Structure 1
């Protein structure tokens, strides 16, 4: 059976945002076209990796002779989006795999997100056999965004990721509002 594809070719909005307090935040990627809104859950590390990779791809494209894709060096001011996630946040799925691509025919960055695929494993089996058909995701998110929007998306995502808990200047670990037990590195006791 073909997967359900939540496709956004030129979305009105695409952002990563969070719900919850630092230390217990849940991360979401949201895409909207008109009144159609799709949210998917993802991990903080996935969010950061996606933004870092988008920046890398954009920088490589910008470095091409003549910058043929017209990639901006910085986020265009008119594309800055600091608004919170749109409510209600009801994720379609939790992301397992993300992929990133470039479509030169439309000069768009292409983001694909696939849900976590659960596979049943027989605890008594000596070997694990996985049927590739069981590994097929039943839905996915496909978002295509132009280079300026991609630059703005990456910048916002990195800011959201960095807005978590305060880092202890002594041990480098995140500090909770309820308190912090500092584990000093060897030699700083």
Structure 2
């Protein structure tokens, strides 16, 4: 199982490439002359940001030294590092608070196809286990990651005012209009 471990990374960010509606989302860690880029879905970026904030808020409630908001000095609005070469696609993620080091630990595990065997084979144990990206970051860096991730997710297509689903440039099939294709200019009319 390849483990891409960054303790701590020089940089850990979420980013996207492409136009809203057809963006590809990535997590990227850089450090010690290495760059790891993993692909994931938009909802996974949003879920990671939400869970990170919840984890940090809970740690703060328990009395640890955690900033309530992202420190301005840790703001990172730069684009993803190039080349953007996906090392693997994320299936599951996990978060933990390491009280000994006062750091957040984030793990992103490679997606496994449903038809693949989860049992390690006796001959090639390392080939049958999924890859993992593991980063250890400070609470301030985690808050900065969260702020960037939330802005990234929000920068997508605007929502339909009737059903909340994302609008394409040509509109979308709105369930509130009984399946008619509505556009942002003609939402109330129910036609094209």
Q: SS of the residue aligned with 2:176?
A: coil
Q: CA deviation at 1:155?
A: 1.2
Shift of 1:154: 1.0
* Count of aligned pairs: 175
| Residue matched to 1:158 | 150
1:4 aligns to 2:2 (yes or no): yes
**Secondary structure, counterpart of 1:169 in structure 2:** coil
SS in 2 for 1:24: coil
Query: What SS does structure 2 have at the residue aligned with 1:90?
Result: coil
Which segment drifts farther, 73-82 or 132-141?
A: 132-141
SS in structure 2 at match of 1:184:
helix
Q: Match of 1:126?
A: none
Aligned partner of 1:108 in structure 2 is 103
Counterpart in 2 of 1:41? 39
Report if aligned partners of 1:29, 1:40 keep a CA contact under 8 Å in 2: yes
Structure 1 SS opposite 2:148:
helix
In 2: Cα distance, 1:20 partner to 1:107 partner: 36
TM superposition shift of 1:185:
5.8
CA deviation vs aligned residue, 1:20-39 (integer Å, no higher than 9, x gap): 10001110000011431110
Give CA-to-partner distance per residue, 1:146-174, whole Å, 9 cap, x none.
10000111111111011100112123221
User: Higher relative CO (CA 8 A, sep ≥ 6), structure 1 or 2?
Assistant: 1
SS at match of 1:132: coil
Worse-superposed segment, 132-141 or 4-13: 132-141
Deviation at 1:136, TM superposition (A): 4.8
Of 137, 146, 152, 2:129 maps to 137
The 3-state SS of whatever aligns with 1:99 is strand
How high is the TM-score relative to the length of structure 1? 0.85
TM-score normalised according to structure 2 size:
0.83
Say whether the 8 Å CA contact 1:41–1:91 is kept in structure 2.
yes
- Deviation string 1:76-95 (CA, Å, 9 cap, x unpaired) is 00001111111111010000
Provide the C-alpha distance between the structure 2 equivalents of 1:106 and 1:62, rounded to a whole number of angstroms: 15
